Amino acid sequence: MNEPKTQGPLYYAQTADQILKEKEVNPETGLKENEVAARISEYGPNKLQEQKRKSIFRIFLAQLNNALIYVLMGAVIITMLMGEYTDGIIISTVIFINAALGVIQEVKAGNAIDALRDMAAPKAVVRRDGHTRELNSEDLVPGDIVLLDAGRYIPADLRLIESANLKIDESALTGESVAVEKDAEYIFSEEYIALGDRKNLAFMGTLITYGRGTGVVTGTGKNTEVGHIAHLLSQDQETRTPLELRLDRLGKMLGIGAIVICVVIFVLSYFQGRNLAEMFLTSVSLAVAAIPEGLAAIVAVVLSIGVTRMAKKKAIIKKLPAVETLGSVNIVCSDKTGTLTQNKMTVNEIFTFTDGVKSLDQAISDEGILLAEAMVLASDATLEDGESTGDPTEIALLQLADDLGIDRNELHAAQPRKDELAFDSDRKMMSTLHEKEGKHLIYVKGALGSIMKHASGIILNGQKQPVTDDHISQLRKAAESMSDKALRTLAVAYKEVDSSIAHADFEKDLVIIGITGMMDPPRDEVKESIALAQQAGITTVMITGDHKNTAFAIARDLGIATDISQATTGGNLSRMSRTELEKSISGYRVFARVSPEHKVKIIKALKSRGNIVSMTGDGVNDAPSLNAADIGVAMGITGTDAAKNASDMILADDNFSTIITAVEQGRNIYNNIKKAVVFLLACNVGEVLVMLAAILGGLPVPLSATQLLWINLVTDTLPAVALGMDPGDKDIMKEKPRTLNENFFSHGAGRRIILAGFLISALTMVAFLLGYHLRGFSAFAADIPEEVHEYARTLAFLTIITCQLFYSFALRSEYKSIFKVGVFSNKYLVGAVIFGLVIQLMVLYIPFMKEAFKLQYLNLNDWLMVLGLGLIPLAANEILKIFTGQKHRIGNA
């Protein structure tokens, strides 16, 4: 398949005649049918190629492709060979549950290219063989002559050859809400022109909002800008999340550790002269003890719980590991329009000669009311009950009138429109003639420069005055003041006439009323969210198709950037090599006038610096960068299907602050997973050390293979899941984001695992040896009755379980005491510990289970000893926290 070609300088830098000649087409007659057939054969239909979906079976196999699952599969084989079929089935079930949870979540993800394909317009008006006809858009070929009018979608990429007041809404492609004025006569000489500035081109999937035109097809299907976006999406390779990488490294480490343990124990046993067949089983049991069989399922369950919690907070997660990745994010890249802003033009300020520049929360004079009325009467948009049609600028003017308490229906009834002179890009003005109480009034709105050229007067304090240089200076200063705040300016004037006049005289001797300054305002909650993100060590970056000055002004207002040097443009990016961009990327906070391809380059450059990057957007133009980011976040209400399908997370409420809430959730979820991992590994280290100590000391084995698997799969699993459901630390957003190379053993976790494991194994060994002593035997003696072995193993079995259950409370927080966190604040953990103790009683006192585990009944003193020993790891950890907590507080001070 050929790589798609995009609209390059070739088309926007050439005249319409040059392109018509290149495409070998007469614009008056269009292509002949035989030429169409040849070009269909050469270029194919005008539609995007479908991408094959993964089968559920392939998705299922992908869930099994990690080192931890391979280790578990090895454990299944070993336990089956040992004859422990029940244990093998249990571990197999764990593997299946883990994979099934991943499949269920992933099948919800859609296909971004499908959504892009649906953007193509179903019909197009085309000139062929001298006749005008309506065709399915997929039948178009390069060289076709397409007729354009308001309300239609552009069916392919076009070079305009005629345009009459043509405006096209390109927001789905560029992200900018203001319709672009098109001009077929315009020729560009610059090397790079931003997509939103190519005024002589029109792009597939964009909407004509005003005027009419004619264009020649320059690109179809994959050779359109939308096709290029689809190509970027299909090119991007799926990257593994930080959690998946950490679990993979852990799985490899555990697998290697299990093999080493098997070999070491087997070699030691050989030199000790033990029964090799028996010691092979023992060493395999020890290897099984080293692997936390329940970890994969626990991680999947914790992530699933996190998904449910986040959905309640309006953040919908599509892939389970993405939940944790959010907690690692240290850069949030965001599209401006519709994400940081409201995607709704709003008048912020007005200028009249009576008021000067005023915001709308200040008192407005009669001239201010006249300005709003004139703007309404000279507009064609509609706005009723929150529903609007027409140009976004005109809709903002109607809203201005509503905000000032003007009854627009009464206004139109009092001054009905009698004639009009439509806007065009040469005059940059629109005029309407109205009748009022037997007189006639003309209202003119448009660019300030155009209106000043045709003005002879101004209105001040209700009186008309001749225009002076001072008045012109006031107008320019007001316009500059508004432009400095990134406001788009629009001027309005009027004139009184005795009767209807010729169009040529509409815009002569105008009386200037004033200027409006408008913008797409930031969302109310965004500034606070960006400040919270900054506190949490997260940098917010704006990536937009809008102009540099406008983008910087919004960024400065939101606290994203402080100096214009932190802003750059797509043109500058095009001139940078990949190495140059990667070196300088950290200095920028605003990227303006960028294309979809630029956005992907920015994301990749940020990732190359070791950052975990989130990208937020809502348009088709955002889809490739959403796909390239570690976490792609799409808007659920205003977002296009392409953006939603390319994302990892969807914001159901389109609220930027929900991202920061999701990051907080992600951090807590990772912490909870880490608690579960540390707990399970501490328990497993304890099991391995007690077995290793016994073998090295020439003692009987303190725990059987069945007992080890019961501890791993049942006793340890419940507290680990409960730790995964911990409410979380309310101070988590005061911490800095995790680095990419951080693992489960960072920040002293590895040391805690070893210390806890050593203490648990020592206490278990104490109980084991006391078992022999209480029955009057030495553990080193020969010919010890089997019931004494069982009694000692019972004490060891119950002691290691109680140590582990009580120790789980210590892992609620690294630095805070269990009493500060709240003993009962995690009711799931309290329940898990109680349930764990109850099922041990069942194992001990239900006859057939007691026989299966080869246990002996205990008396009250035995139980007191077991519980006393079991509380020691928790107590030791709480004492340690007094010192580590103080050190942590000093470090954060």
Task: Tell me the catalytic residues.
Answer: 335
The Cα-based distances of 79 to 281, 298, 472, 643, 718 in angstroms read: 10, 21, 90, 47, 22
Contact 208, 225 (CB under 8 A): no
Question: Among residues 648, 709, 665, 769, which one has the least CA distance to residue 287?
Answer: 709
* DSSP state for residue 154 in the 8-state scheme: P
User: 732: Cβ–Cβ under 8 A, 6 or more apart, which residues?
Assistant: 664, 667, 668, 671
Angle formed at CA 566 by CA 561 and CA 571, multiple of 5 degrees:
130
Residue 464 CB-density burial (10 A; 0-12 exposed, 13-18 middle, 19+ buried): middle
Return the H-helix or E-strand segment holding 614.
strand 613-617
Residue 39 contacts residue 134 (beta carbons within 8 Å): no
* Cα gap 334→119, rounded to integer Å: 23
Consecutive H or E run containing 17: helix 16-22
CA dist., res. 591 & res. 572, Å (int)? 10
Taking phi over 0 as left and psi of -120 to 50 as alpha, with beta for the rest, 719 belongs to alpha
Assign 526 to helix, strand or coil.
Answer: helix
**Best CA proximity match to 415, nearest among 442, 446, 388:** 442
DSSP 796-817: HHHHHHHHHHHHHHHTT-SSS-
Produce one character per residue of 286-295: b if its CB has 16 or more CB atoms within 10 Å, e if not. Answer: bbbbbbbbbb
Residue 403: count other Cβ atoms within 10 Å of its Cβ.
14
Dmax of the chain from CA atoms?
126
Structural Rg of the chain based on CA atoms? 36
